[in-house]
């Protein structure tokens, strides 16, 4: 992705999680930090009040987090995986691969950056594995450069369920 206003691809579940996180930050975290600031201010001279400065720093970080999530939501390109089909790897697809060296089968769903959970089989579309897979077809063999070296995989199947 390039450009400041580039679309941010995500699944409907990823979009919903961002909305929930934004609600939590605004309705739970922000009031808690405001209360911390008020309590610290009540302790007197704020120029030498470490609690006050720490709470103000939390407030600034929280504001940045909120702005980042709001920007992602504005730029979101929600892709409903259930409406996709075919034999070509695209964003949202769950790809079943067989490792050319070990014969081990692995499955990955290609998701947005903020949705990635590699331990749960969800990899970011910008990861080396996903970039190697996107636009390839069932039956293709792909070479993936990993920290452990180049690995070879064959694409066995695609699934387009959420």
Q: Please list the pLDDT of the chain residue by residue as tens digits (162 residues).
A: 445 568 889 999 999 999 999 999 999 999 999 999 998 888 777 777 788 889 999 999 999 999 999 999 999 999 998 888 888 999 999 999 999 889 999 999 999 999 999 999 999 999 999 999 999 999 999 998 877 888 899 999 999 986
**Under the phi-then-psi rule, with left for phi > 0, alpha for psi from -120 to 50, and beta for the rest, what region is 103?**
left
pTM of this prediction? 0.79
Q: DSSP 3-state assignment of 76? A: strand
């Amino acid at each position: 992705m390039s450009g400041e206003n580039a679309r941010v691809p995500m699944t409907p579940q990823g979009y919903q999680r961002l909305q929930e996180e934004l609600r939590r930050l605004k309705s739970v975290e922000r009031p808690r930090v405001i209360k911390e600031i008020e309590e610290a201010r009540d302790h007197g001279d704020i120029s030498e009040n470490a609690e006050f400065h720490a709470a103000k720093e939390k407030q600034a970080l929280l504001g940045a987090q909120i702005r980042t999530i709001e920007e992602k939501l504005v730029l979101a390109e929600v892709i409903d995986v259930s409406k996709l089909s075919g034999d070509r790897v695209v964003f949202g697809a769950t790809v079943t691969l067989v490792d050319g060296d070990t014969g081990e089968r692995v499955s990955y769903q290609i998701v947005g950056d903020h949705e990635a959970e590699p331990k749960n089989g969800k990899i970011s579309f910008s990861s080396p594995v996903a970039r190697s897979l996107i636009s390839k077809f069932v039956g293709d063999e792909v070479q993936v450069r990993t920290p452990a070296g180049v690995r070879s995989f064959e694409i066995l199947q695609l699934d387009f369920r959420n």
